[in-house]
Amino acid sequence: MFAKRLKQMRKKRKLTMQEVADSVGVAKSTYAGYESGYRQPTIESIQTISRKLRTSADYLLGLTDYPEMPIEPNHNAKEYLNHERLHWDGVPLEQDDLDLIRNLLERVLQGRAAPKKDDSPFQ
């Protein structure tokens, strides 16, 4: 699986074997061995390859079926509530549930204003 996904992602990113081999610091023939399954790269090489191919080592190794790099978590609750497939302990949240949560949070925050410069206790 590793060899197949490695080749697939390299082609998807429109990179040559030489380009990936250079980024890892190995000969093109060594890298070709990775893609054919004849050779196995070190963990460090897998990490370097995954960064070059903009995918995760987990994907290359077959531990996940999602080839795209995970996106950094967004800590903005308003944007997070737009995420698909949100659930609460395995129970899917429907659109009505999310609307209710949004309204509740907006109500909680209503009336809260950013502190004015004059209100600061550190003047």
pLDDT band at 65 (very low <50, low <70, confident <90, very high): confident
Q: Which two tokens stand for residue 4?
A: 């197949």
Q: How far is residue 33's CA from residue 35's CA, in Å, rounded to a whole number?
A: 5
79: helix, strand or coil: helix
If you average pLDDT over residues 68-76, what whole number do you get?
66
Please state, in angstroms and rounded to a whole number, the distance separating the CA atoms of residues 102 and 11: 42
Residues 6+ apart with CB under 8 A from 52: 15, 19, 20, 23, 24
Q: Tell me the whole-structure pTM to 2 decimals.
A: 0.56
Mean predicted confidence (pLDDT) in 1-19 = 94
Percent of the chain, pLDDT > 70?
85
How many whole angstroms separate alpha carbon 51 and alpha carbon 94? 36
